[in-house]
């Protein structure tokens, strides 16, 4: 049994340790991290899971980004999902799927229309992500374009949305 909780500032160290455990040491050099620099994760969506011993079992974060636009218009708002990680002792228990489902439902409730991630389509397709939608975007290099995946949270969310993925600006 897991308790899903909003990530709090005091959880940050534990969450970063989980991400270090789950991903390669050079994870912060990835292009998705460049989009996150100087921006806080979205507080209402970033979620942790604790097990019955109150141990951190999983975590997911979301970041605001923009797609397309130019100097006159800021581009379409979207969510950048990730990282998401499940502690090795809890992998295979459905926790990653639970974190994704609950937080994407919450994102839709909050009015977000689009979600983007960099990952493997065969896995993330089960959550509605597609490389076809991802092909509408130019993700900052170095990123394999085939790994840029996207999902609609609202009908017609991607109509007319395409272009460069950019850091969030107010």
Residue of higher predicted confidence among 70 and 133: 133
Domains in the chain (CATH in brackets) are 3-167 (3.40.630.30)
Residue of higher predicted confidence among 115 and 1: 115
CB 30, CB 119: distance < 8 Å? no
The yes-or-no verdict on residue 11 having pLDDT over 80 is yes
What is the rounded average pLDDT for all residues in the chain?
A: 94
Per residue, the 3-state secondary structure of 28-96, as one string, reads HHCHHHHCCCCCCCCCCCCEEEECCCCCEEEEEEEEEEEECCCCCCCCEEEEEEEEEEECHHHCCCCHH
Looking at the chain, how many residues does it have? Answer: 170
pTM above 0.75, yes or no: yes
Average pLDDT over residues 4-30: 89
Express each pLDDT in 81-111 by its tens digit.
999 999 999 999 999 999 999 999 999 999 9
């Amino acid at each position: 049994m897991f308790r899903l909780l909003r990530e709090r500032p005091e959880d940050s160290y534990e969450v970063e340790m989980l991400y270090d455990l789950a991903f390669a040491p050079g994870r912060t050099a990835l292009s998705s991290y460049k989009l996150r620099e100087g921006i806080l994760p979205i507080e209402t969506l970033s979620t942790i899971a604790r097990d019955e011993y109150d141990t951190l079992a999983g975590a997911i974060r979301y970041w605001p980004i923009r797609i397309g636009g130019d100097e006159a218009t800021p581009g379409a708002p979207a969510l950048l999902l990730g990282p998401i990680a499940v502690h090795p002792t809890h992998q295979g228990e459905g926790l990653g799927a639970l974190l994704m489902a609950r937080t994407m439902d919450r994102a839709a409730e909050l009015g977000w229309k689009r979600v983007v991630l960099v990952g493997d389509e065969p896995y993330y397709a089960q959550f509605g992500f597609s490389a076809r939608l991802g092909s509408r975007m130019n993700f900052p290099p170095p990123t394999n374009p085939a790994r840029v995946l996207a999902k609609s949270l609202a009908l017609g969310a991607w109509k007319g949305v395409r272009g460069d993925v950019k850091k969030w600006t107010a």
